[in-house]
């Protein structure tokens, strides 16, 4: 799954947002939808993505493990 910007070259995000706080048209929408669709992120228990939160070390470790299919 890892591939940087090139991974998104042929990607078309869904027409409906997975997370209400990352609406269609937001600058980060295609990125968030891509990593959510790949199972890298799941959002918070309240159903939001919360891009305004600081990503902790343990969260990043989980993201990297999922992105590179290490778990």
Q: What is the tens place of the pLDDT at every residue in 15-63?
A: 999 999 999 999 999 999 999 998 999 999 999 999 999 999 999 999 9
pLDDT in tens, 27-36: 999 999 999 9
Instruction: Count CA within 13 A, CB hemisphere, residue 44.
Output: 12
pTM for the model stands at 0.83
SS3 50: coil
State the burial class of residue 19 (Cβ atoms within 10 Å of its Cβ: 0-12, 13-18, 19+).
buried
Q: How confident is the model at residue 3 (pLDDT cuts 50, 70, 90)?
A: low
């Amino acid at each position: 799954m890892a591939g940087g910007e090139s991974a998104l070259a042929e990607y078309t995000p869904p027409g409906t947002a997975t997370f209400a706080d990352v609406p269609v048209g937001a600058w980060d929408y295609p990125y968030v939808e891509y990593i959510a669709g790949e199972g890298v992120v799941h959002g918070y228990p309240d159903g939001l993505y919360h891009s305004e939160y600081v990503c902790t070390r343990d969260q990043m470790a989980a993201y990297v493990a999922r992105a590179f299919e290490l778990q």
